[in-house]
Amino acid sequence: MKNHSFLSVFVLILFALGGTLLSCEKEAVQPESQPEETQIPLVYDSLYLSGKVLLHQTCTIVAVAEGNELSYSWELNLGTLLGSGSSVTFNACCAGNHNVKCTVTDGYGNSQCKEVNIFVPE
């Protein structure tokens, strides 16, 4: 009878240990979540000259805009633009009206355009 009791206790211990081991599951490790990028709407506030424009002189033209991953594209009919980004330097090569256009595009493909007319006296 002792062997039978010993065997019963042994089997109960095995079941208890087996149940405990089987019920211990590893928790799934979640990768660190990246914060979602907040989409800031494209707002193109202004395009302005910083300084007075004289013949054969330079002045700075500034585009003021807000949004995600902005890029700037500049165009003009006469003269030279130097630089890139939200501000460029304009060199007035000759007297007259000079049209400068700046298009701002955000990382989502939205774009807005503004123009400024610069009069250069003789």
Residue 100, domain CATH:
2.60.40.1080
CA–CA dist 14, 67 (Å, integer): 65
- Domain range spanning residue 70? 43-120
CB within 8 Å of 37: residues ≥ 6 apart: 68
Residues 6 or more apart in contact with residue 105 via CB below 8 angstroms: 42, 70, 71, 73, 111
- Residue 54 lies inside a defined structural domain of this protein: yes
* pLDDT of 57 higher than 70: yes
Q: What was the pLDDT predicted at 39?
A: 84
Asked if residue 87 is part of any domain, the answer here is: yes
pLDDT for 30 beyond 90:
no
pLDDT digits (tens, 9 = 90+) for 61-97: 999 999 999 999 999 998 899 999 999 999 999 999 9
- Give me the number of domains the chain comprises: 1
* 29 assigned to some structural domain: no
Q: Which of 112, 100, 38, 32 lies closest to 68 in space, CA to CA?
A: 38
Residue 60 vs residue 3, higher pLDDT: 60
Task: For residues 84 and 65, give the distance between their C-alpha atoms in angstroms, rounded to a whole number.
Answer: 14
Q: How far apart are CA 43 and CA 39, in angstroms?
A: 12
